[in-house]
Structures are given as structure tokens and as C-alpha cells.
A = this chain, B = another copy of it.
């Protein structure tokens, strides 16, 4: 038996705003950040659990404060008990009535629960000696449904229906695992499409994406219609007719504006319109979906929990469901969402990028392929090529595909040296930056 003897948080921030990586119509200057948590036991096996919430800079300290509020629920507890029944562990955190008031089940506190839950999954997978996707994909249907909180879902998905979905996918698990290991999971790339890039850079990066094997690219839109038309035309000219081009408005529009704007982009053969409006606006997304059909509507990276995803599916508000590894309350809630998507027959194309989101979310899609939906049809994982070097087990993307991680764990562990350097405000980088800015005539440190 082992005990959780430390739960440490770190406020890690990368100065990405200085290069306009990650700029979009709503987020002009993100500093990609992680509210990071490390769970340590006295098990003597060298295994730790690592997890994080992704944020874009200011306020990352609020997330670490929320993770700290969860420490008493984990620290000092029997690790084997916590890990043996992850469904119960999830409820221990998510059902605490006092903390629940801070959401309920949304925002800062819910994401913090996700970080802790994911850290425990990382630890569980490391102890099992397998990558998380494989750990999940070898659990029985009964074990998997026990992870899910069906509260507020039963009008759309019951435990029995979830079991049926999972049982139907048991045959073929081995073949799909083999196919995944051999051929990978399709990816698409957002690298060319940030708003801050010039048309030349966009075209060059788009061509490079195709050369690298990607079959879809994505462009940020929504700041200026004339610019968007020109940029989408530029991208289409660069990649030719056979590569899919998705666009992403990052919540910039109201309903009528979204429908109108998309009329001008539709001639360029758009693969999907992502986040056209508020992620809370289920009925708005449904109206937009009707208005822009046959262009599919995609959303999810800011969808707060399984209850909103349920309604998005009930209302036919989305045709592409974009899970995020660090927005909802961790692996357990994403299993619920994958089951909902399977029930409604909607494809899942995860949001990634940020800090470590690619490393984390690939496990969920791979699990989905092997043990839930059983298909890759129309599915792909977002790929953005930055900050991977800070992770102990960075993604393996080549030939346009994600190749399955084989290292044990959930992929969420950052190098200790990266944490030390980019901890805000006392890490080496930020101290040097503060000194540089304090010096006469000096500016920000460029990375």
C-alpha cells in the first residue's frame, strides 16, 4: 500500500504572445500556460502522476489556487484505493457540495478537478506500465461505465445504452489496436492559420503542411471579412482542391453574423466552421448549423461539461464534436462525452495545441477508436507544432498522423527543467524578463 505524500502545483507560463503563435480573433496575445499538478506517493516505484489545466496566461494563478483547494481530497489518502475506483474518486472531487457551488461543474474549479483526475490517471497508467489509451482500451465495458457520472445524462444516454455501445466494440479491439500501431491516427494542422501571420507565411506553411502529409489545415477567421476571404483564397490556391480547409472563428460572432459571414467563405469548400459563437449557445449553434448547411459546425474546446455536450447533440447543434483534454473534469468526463458522441453517431475531432493538449488528448481518440466508436471515419486530431519539447513523452506525428504513444502514462508530464525555467513569476525566464524590462531602454526577452 502507498500513500499520497505530496500534491504540488506550479504556475507555468510560456511567452508565446511574443511571436503571435496562437493569435486568433478573440485571443490576440496568448501566453500559453499550464496550471500544473504533480502527485507523489511513497510507493517507492518512482511513479508520479502529472496533470494540468491549459490557460493562456493571466489568471493561471487562479487555476493553481483551485487545484490547491483540491489537495485535501487527495493528500494523505491511500493511493491504491484512489486509483482502483476512479469513478468514485471522480465523484469525491466533483460532488463535494461546497466546491461544486463554484461552478457547478464548470470553469475554474471544474478544470482544476480535471487536472487532478488526469494526474491520477497518469499515475495509474504508469503503474500499469502502459500508455493511457491502452489502459482504457483494455478495460471491460463494465469498468468503463463505472467511470462515468450519468447524472443529468439519462434522458440522452443511460448506463445500459453505454454498456451496449462498449460491448458492441469489444470484438475488433485487437485488430484496431494493431491498425493504430501500424498506421497511426489522422491529424490535421492549424499551424498555417494563425491570424497574426502574413499571407506569404500562410501559403508557405499550408504547402509545408501538405508536404508533411496532412489532409486538412485550419485557418482562424472572424476578425475581418475581406481579410478572411483573401486568406482562405490564398490557402485554397496553395493546397489545391483535394485538401480540406476548416475555419475557426473562436466565438467571434452572433448567430446571424455567423451565417452571413460563412456565405462568403462557402465558395472555397469549407470542411467545418469551428466555434462560430458562444460555446454556451446550444440553440445558437443549432440555428447556425441549419443556416450554414451543408458546412458542418464544430465546437467543444470551451464546452464546459457533459451536460452541454449532451444538449449540443440533442439539438443537432454540432456535426463535429471537439473534446479537449483539459476543459472538462478529466478522463472520466471525456469518456462520458465519447459515449454520447457514439450514441448520436457524431464524429469526434479533438481540440489540441496549447500546452500539452496534443500529448494528452491523443490518448482519448485512440481509446475511442479501439473501444468506443471503432472507426476513424471523418476523425482527426488537431496538431499544432509548438511546445512539445517541454514534455517527457512528446507526440510522434509524421506522415500527417499521430502515432500511438508507447511510454506508460497519460503524456502529461512536463520536464522538470521546463517547469523550473518557466514558472511564473519566479522561474529563470520570467526573472530575466522582469530584469530586462526594468533596465533602461530595454524590452521584453524574446525566446
A: residues with CB less than 8 A from B are 26-31, 55-59, 61-63, 65-66, 69, 96-111, 151-155, 251, 254-257, 277-284, 287, 302, 304-305, 307-308, 310-311, 314-315
Contacts and interface: CB of A to CB of B under 8 A. Distances in A.
A66 B278 CA distance: 22
Given A66-B108, A97-B30, A280 B255 contact: no
B69 A280 contact: no
Contacts of A27: 97-98, 101
B97 A28 contact: yes
A166 B105 CA distance: 35
Nearest to A312: B283
A contact face: mostly helix, strand, loop, or mixed: loop
* Number of this chain's copies in the complex: 2
A27 to B, nearest CB: 5
11 contacts: A30-B97, A31-B98, A55-B101, A56-B97, A56-B98, A62-B102, A65-B65, A107-B109, A152-B280, A155-B255, A280-B305
A315 B281 CA distance: 12
Given A107-B108, A152-B281, A154-B256, A55 B102 contact: yes
Contact of A251 (B31, B104, B154, B305): B104
B59 A109 contact: yes
Nearest to A57: B98
Contacts of A56: 97-98, 101
Contact of A62 (B66, B279, B280): B66
Contacts of A105: 278, 280
In the A-B complex, list the 7 residue pairs whose CB atoms are closest, starting with the nearest: A107-B107, A108-B108, A65-B65, A58-B98, A155-B255, A57-B98, A152-B278
